[in-house]
C-alpha cells in the first residue's frame, strides 16, 4: 500500500505530475491538495483505470491534514513560478517570501500530521526551500535527514537529453546517465560530464563542452523565455518529478541498489566524506544518494572529477552557502 500526496496539485506541475502518479501501478492512494481546484482534478483523474483511489482536498475543514493523513510520500510543487528576466538565483525577495511561506506552512502540516513521510520538494528556490522544511521539522523535533529530498531530477533529465543531442543521436537520451551535483539554480548546477554513461568524444572542443554545461545549468531560462510570461517548466518537471517519485516508491517497497542524485542534508551517512571532497563546511548538497526503505542509506562522494569540474564546483559553493543560510534564517530569525 502506498499513499502519495501532491501539495499544489492543481498547478502547472501539479496536474501532470498527479496524472503520472495516478499511472503508477504501485500507488494505491493519491491525495491531491491545493488552495484551488484540487477536487475537480481528483475526480477527473479518478476515472483512469489504475488502482489508485484519488481524492481532492481544499483548505476548509482541515483539508490539508486530511490529505496528509497516512501519507508515505509527499511531493510539493506548490508555489509561484518566476517570470522572464528573473534568474533562478536572484529570484526576487517577494517571490522568495511567497514560496518560502507556502513551503513553511505545508512543512508544518506534514511535521504534525505525517512526520515519517518522505518529503520531495520541487518548489523553488530548492536550495533554500529544502533547508526551510528541515528547520520546521527540527522545531517539531521530527527531522530525519534520510527522508527529505530536494528534487533536482529535471537537471539530470536535461543532461541526458542535451548530451544525447551533442552525441548526435536523440534515441540514446533515455539511457544516457550523467550525475548532476551541487544545487538547483544556475551555476550551482554542476553536471559531471566526465562520468557520463555515454562518454563525449575526447576530441570535443572546449566551446562545445562549455555550451553544453551552460545549457544544463540554465535550461530553466530557456523554458521561461519561450513561455514568455506564462510560467516556467511544468511538463518536463512533472516527468522528472514522477521519475524521482517512482524511484522513491520502489526503494520504499524494499528494492535495493537505487542511486539517484538529490539535494539532501549532509548530516547523515556519507555527508562528512562528501564535505571533505568539497573542501567546505556545507549542510546541503545535491549528490548521488543510495536509497533504501528508510530513505537515504548513504550519500555518495563526487568520484573522480576533472580539473574543469572542480572549477565548476568551487564556483557553486558560495551561492549554495548563501541560499542555505537564507532558508535557515527564514525560519530561525523571521523578519
Ligand atoms: P503554478 O502557479 O502553475 O502552480 C502552483 C500551484 O500551487 C497552484 O495551483 C497554486 O494554487 C498552488 N498553491 C499556492 N499556494 C499553495 C498552498 N499554500 N498550498 C497548496 N497549494 C498552493 O506553478 P508551477 O509552474 O506548477 O511551479 C510551482 C513551483 O515549482 C514554482 O516554485 C517553480 O519555480 C517550481 N519549479 C521547480 C522545478 C524544479 O526543478 N525543482 C522545476 C520547475 C518549477
Ligand atoms: C527549472 O529548472 O526549469 C525550474 O527550476 C524553473 C525555473 O524557474 O527555472
Q: What ipTM was assigned to the predicted interfaces of this complex?
A: 0.99
Which ligand 2 atom lies nearest to the CA of residue 221? 9
Residue 279's CB: how many other CB atoms inside 10 A?
Answer: 11
Q: Please determine, for residue 335, whether its predicted confidence score (pLDDT) is greater than 80.
A: no
Q: What is the pTM of this model?
A: 0.98
Residue 237 labeled ligand binder? yes
Contacts of 205 (CB under 8 A, 6+ apart): none
Closest residue to atom 42 of ligand 1, CA basis? 237
Question: Can you tell me which residue has the cell 517577494?
Answer: 94
Which residues carry out catalysis?
184
Residue 32 has pLDDT above 80, yes or no: yes
Distance 332 CA to ligand 1 centre (A): 24
Per-residue pLDDT tens digits for 252-277: 999 999 999 999 999 999 999 999 99
For residue 232, give the ligand 2 atom closest to its CA: 6
Q: Which atom of ligand 2 is nearest to the CA of 82?
A: 8
Dist. CA 79 → ligand 1 center (Å): 3
Residue owning the nearest CA to atom 38 of ligand 1: 122
Alpha carbon 234 to chain centroid distance?
13
User: Exposed (0-12), middle (13-18) or buried (19+): which is 65, by Cβ within 10 Å?
Assistant: middle
* Domain range summary for the chain, segments of one domain joined by +: 3-150, 152-331
**CATH no., domain 152-331:** 3.90.110.10
Q: Calculate how far, in angstroms, residue 76's C-alpha sits from the geometric centre of ligand 1.
A: 8
The CATH class given to the 3-150 domain equals: alpha beta
Amino acid at each position: 500500500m502506498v499513499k502519495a500526496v501532491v501539495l499544489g496539485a492543481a498547478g502547472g506541475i501539479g496536474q501532470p505530475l498527479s496524472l503520472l502518479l495516478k499511472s503508477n501501478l504501485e500507488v494505491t492512494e493519491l491525495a491531491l491538495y491545493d488552495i484551488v481546484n484540487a477536487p475537480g482534478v481528483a475526480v477527473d483523474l479518478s476515472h483512469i483505470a489504475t488502482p489508485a483511489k484519488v481524492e481532492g482536498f481544499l483548505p476548509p475543514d482541515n483539508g490539508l491534514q486530511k490529505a496528509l493523513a497516512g501519507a508515505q510520500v509527499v511531493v510539493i510543487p506548490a508555489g509561484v513560478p518566476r517570470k522572464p528576466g528573473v534568474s533562478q538565483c536572484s529570484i526576487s525577495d517577494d517571490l522568495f517570501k511567497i514560496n518560502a511561506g507556502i513551503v513553511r506552512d505545508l512543512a508544518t502540516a506534514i511535521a504534525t500530521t505525517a512526520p515519517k513521510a518522505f518529503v520531495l520538494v520541487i518548489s523553488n528556490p530548492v536550495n533554500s526551500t529544502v533547508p526551510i522544511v528541515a528547520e520546521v521539522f527540527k522545531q517539531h523535533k521530527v527531522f530525519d535527514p534520510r527522508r527529505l529530498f530536494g528534487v533536482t531530477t529535471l537537471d539530470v533529465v536535461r543532461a541526458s537529453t542535451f548530451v544525447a543531442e551533442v552525441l548526435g543521436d536523440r534515441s540514446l537520451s533515455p539511457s544516457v546517465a550523467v550525475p548532476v551535483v551541487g544545487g538547483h539554480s544556475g551555476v550551482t548546477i554542476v553536471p559531471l560530464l566526465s562520468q557520463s554513461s555515454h562518454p563525449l568524444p575526447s576530441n570535443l572542443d572546449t566551446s562545445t563542452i562549455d555550451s553544453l554545461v551552460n545549457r544544463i545549468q540554465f535550461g530553466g531560462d530557456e523554458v521561461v523565455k519561450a513561455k514568455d510570461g506564462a510560467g516556467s517548466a511544468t511538463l518536463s518537471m512533472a516527468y522528472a518529478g514522477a521519475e524521482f517519485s517512482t524511484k522513491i516508491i520502489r526503494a520504499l517497497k524494499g528494492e535495493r541498489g537505487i542511486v539517484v542524485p538529490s539535494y539532501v542534508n549532509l548530516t547523515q551517512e556519507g555527508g562528512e566524506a562528501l564535505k571533505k571532497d568539497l573542501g567546505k563546511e556545507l549542510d546541503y548538497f545535491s549528490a548521488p544518494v543510495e536509497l533504501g526503505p528508510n530513505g537515504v542509506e548513504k550519500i555518495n562522494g563526487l568520484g573522480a572529477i576533472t580539473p574543469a569540474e572542480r572549477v565548476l564546483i568551487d564556483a557553486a559553493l558560495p551561492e549554495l552557502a548563501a541560499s542555505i543560510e537564507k532558508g535557515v534564517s527564514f525560519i530561525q530569525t523571521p523578519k
